[in-house]
A and B are shown apart, each in its own frame.
Chain A
Amino acid sequence: MIEVRGLTKRFGDTLAVDDLTFDVPPGVVTGFLGPNGAGKSTTMRVILGLDRPTKGSALVNGHSYAKTASPMREVGALLDAKDVHGGRSARSHLLAMAQSNGIPARRVDEVLELVGLQSVANRRIKGFSLGMSQRLGIAGTMLGNPQVLLFDEPVNGLDPEGILWIRNFMKTLAHEGRTVFVSSHLMSEMALTADHLVVIGRGRLIADVSTAEFIAGGSTNHVRVRSPQHAQLAALVEAQGIAATPVDSYLELRGITCDEVGDLAAANGITIHELFQERASLEEAFMELTRDAVEYHAPAPAQEVAQ
């Protein structure tokens, strides 16, 4: 269980985290979602006691993590997979971590096997790909068999197989009753992994909802239809109070299902060439929600320049 209460972190003039309050409960994967620079990593660092909050608090299992007696038993965290001394072998790196908490050396081999790095255990980390480094970082989090796990952008640099692997891994951890808190800027990834979402932008809380609710709330559903008899079809649906907007070579209809459009067309002898339901992607839902909260916008598309 992680409890964040009124958390504020200021770096000089920059307000990185602004009065955040949320819980991360055990037993589910909680996704921590936000555009780059939204304050996700800062929040995680404060939870781990690495950064000092300007205001507010972050408690792990009811107390401040910096005061814990058995750190690795309590929390496993992977912030940045490259936060390692490249001159060390994977095994030495993990061994030092284990020794610092009195964890037996055989546990090092167990976690190396768990992430599939046993064959490169004695190689220096310097030569590892980002994906291998991510696996090493995950191995480190599991050394103490902790109840609370934090992962900051863990799928970065992983190949599709690795992404699937980590997705299942996090779900398994949650099913075992652990608290799993994982950040990402990829909505699509979180939709597949997380049960619950904490969405932030510019350091502020935007949403704290179940993934299902978030998707339902964010989606704009409409039907598109292509027909040689657009005018007749538009008149028919409009008679039912449905708005019909021509978009490209289609009619876009809101508040009606494909089935209803098909039935209506058939009953009135209208030819239909194409008919489909269009859902706003999760990515679009997320961007919609965080549009005002993105720190760095790319320049707007060409038409603005042309003016």
Chain B
Amino acid sequence: MTATTAAASPQHRELPTKPGSTLPRVMRAEWTKLFSVRSTGWTLLALVAATIGLGVLASWGTNHGWPQMSAADRAKFDPVSTSMSGLALGQLAIAVLGVMVISSEYSTGGIRVSLTTVPRRMRLLTAKALVFTGVAFVVGLATSFGAFYAGQPWFSERGIGASLGDPGVLRAVIGGGLYVAASGLFGLAMGALLRRTAGAVTAAVALLLVVPPLMNLLPGAWGDAVVRYFSSNAGQQISYTHQSGNYLTPWVGFGVYCLWWIVPLAVGAWLMERRDA
């Protein structure tokens, strides 16, 4: 501590000519924040492992059960989405990471440091969302291709597999990456809205995984409509090559899914601008 008093002014060394919290700088800072905590690496690993692992299991199982399958089931068979069926779990990993990008700032109190160094709240939120979306999309895309290539060999002996050149297959595999990014943004939106990890994770799990299949219990045409537009039911169409009657087309479904995170994120942003930090 002897260095102290003298050292209180090593300060006149040149700092950048134009100091300030510009968006690219805040994004760089958010990148550092994201990758300087261990949970990020573990969560991304969980995304990759769960998606590819379950995809392989589903592909192996489908191939194994193929002789017992009915003609109707065989007609509905989608080799691409089967190899990517692990996305159902992978989406939760990325959603949890999305939640924590925001909620960890509030649970640790770090938000007060972040907003003191970057007082423009929308700039901070935008930087977080952009950096996280980029990471989620790149890792999601790699995962999606990984699951596709790990799954298809199981189908090759029966000649029921798909290749990237087949109609809709490339779109579905890239769509898997898009779906991961959108699921991450859904988590981020829940985090911005609720600010607490437990609540936001619960909301994400419920709305992405638990509630969508339950909607099938609703009766009649309006019940079908709810099913069609409900979060992951709509979003996952982008990673399918076969659409069954009740569901939306791939891009419309993905568009609807995007509304599922855009609306809460917009509300979360509005609240963030108004609430005390």
Which positions in A face B, CB cutoff 8 Å? 45, 48-52, 65-73, 75, 77, 79-80, 82-89, 92-93, 95-104, 107, 110, 113-114, 116, 140, 142, 144-145, 161-162, 165, 168-169, 172-173, 176
B117 within 8 A of A: yes
Query: CA separation between A142 and B117, bound complex, in Å?
Result: 12
Closest residue of chain B to A51 (Cβ to Cβ) is: B276
Expressed in whole angstroms, the Cα–Cα distance for A95 and B13 within the complex equals 18
Closest A residue to B113 using CB positions: A83
Indicate if B71 sits at the interface (CB-CB under 8 A).
Answer: no
Chain A min CB distance to B111 (Å): 8
With beta carbons under 8 angstroms apart, the residue of A50, A102, A116 that contacts B3 is A116
Do residues B116 and A100 form an inter-chain contact, with CB atoms below 8 A? no
Q: Provide the bound-state CA to CA distance between A145 and B19, in Å.
A: 11
Complex Cα distance A145/B202, Å? 42
Given contacts A71-B21, A93-B36, 4 further A-B pairs with CB under 8 A are: A71-B118, A99-B29, A165-B1, A168-B4
Q: Is B120 an interface residue (CB 8 A)?
A: yes
> Bound state CA distance, A29 and B105, in angstroms?
31
Q: At the interface, yes or no: B39 with Cβ under 8 Å from chain A?
A: yes
Separation of A99 and B117 alpha carbons in the complex (Å): 10
With A66-B119, A68-B119, A169-B4 as known contacts, state yes or no: A145 contacts B11, CB within 8 Å.
Answer: yes
6 shortest interchain CB distances as A-B pairs: A83-B109, A92-B36, A100-B29, A145-B11, A99-B29, A172-B8
B25:A71 contact, CB within 8 angstroms: no
From B16, B22, B29, B115, contact of A96 by CB (8 A): B29
Q: Please, how many angstroms separate the alpha-carbon atoms of A292 and B2 in the complex? A: 42
Partner of A168, one of B5, B36, B38, B117: B5
Chain A residues with CB below 8 A from B3, complex form: 113-114, 116
The reply to whether B277 and A51 contact each other, CB–CB distance below 8 Å, is: yes
- Give chain A residues whose Cβ lies under 8 Å from the Cβ of B18: 70, 102
B26 contacts the other chain (CB 8 A) = yes
Distance in Å: Cβ of B186 to nearest Cβ of chain A? 23
